[in-house]
Amino acid sequence: MAISEREAAHRAASDAERIAWVDEQDRLLGELPRAELRERGLIGRGTFILLFDSAGRLCVHRRALSKAVYPGYWDLAAGGMVAAGEGYAESAERELEEELGIAGVPLVEHGRFFFDEPGNRLWCAVFSAVSDAPLRLQPEEVLEARFVDLAGASQLQPCCPDSQHALQLYLRTAA
């Protein structure tokens, strides 16, 4: 399936974004364009925000086909790369608003993990939030979204493995 000119332009701009570059211990080394981090197998910082409604259902969304990593996959969390000069919490707030249109809600941090897969090496911070506000999807990043119970979320295929790790960390720490 072909991607639109708008999606292609968004992808090019995304690849050029300057991202926090870190080592295996999450120590800041500098900043590099997102595409360069990916191509060189270097480590960036990422955020995952698990958005729940007041009934406890998780918001899941399907990634745009223009995404460089896991295009068209189901994602269990909003989120993205931490920009140069940005902290994890600031990035989480920005990404939740950009992708799903949710702003001004308290974020709870649940910890961090290192995700290491070819083309996707990240130090990840996991957050959760609760909101019943209407979703406003970013069309260049999100094809569709819905709220499902946790059992339903675990059945989605194909599903982003990094967001599956984020959900597992949440489940271990939120109890």
Q: Is 39 annotated as a binding residue?
A: no
Q: Are strands 108-117 and 28-33 parallel, antiparallel or unpaired?
A: unpaired
Q: Is 99 annotated as a binding residue?
A: yes
- Token pair recorded at residue 59: 């918001």
Q: Is 146 within 8 Å of 60 (Cβ atoms)?
A: yes
CA distance 51 to 59: 5
Q: Indicate the helix (H) or strand (E) that contains 77.
A: none
93: Cα within 13 Å, side-chain hemisphere: 9
Q: Is 160 within 8 Å of 74 (Cβ atoms)?
A: yes
Q: Which residues are annotated as a binding site?
A: 95, 99
Q: Which residues are annotated as a binding site for Mg(2+)?
A: 95, 99
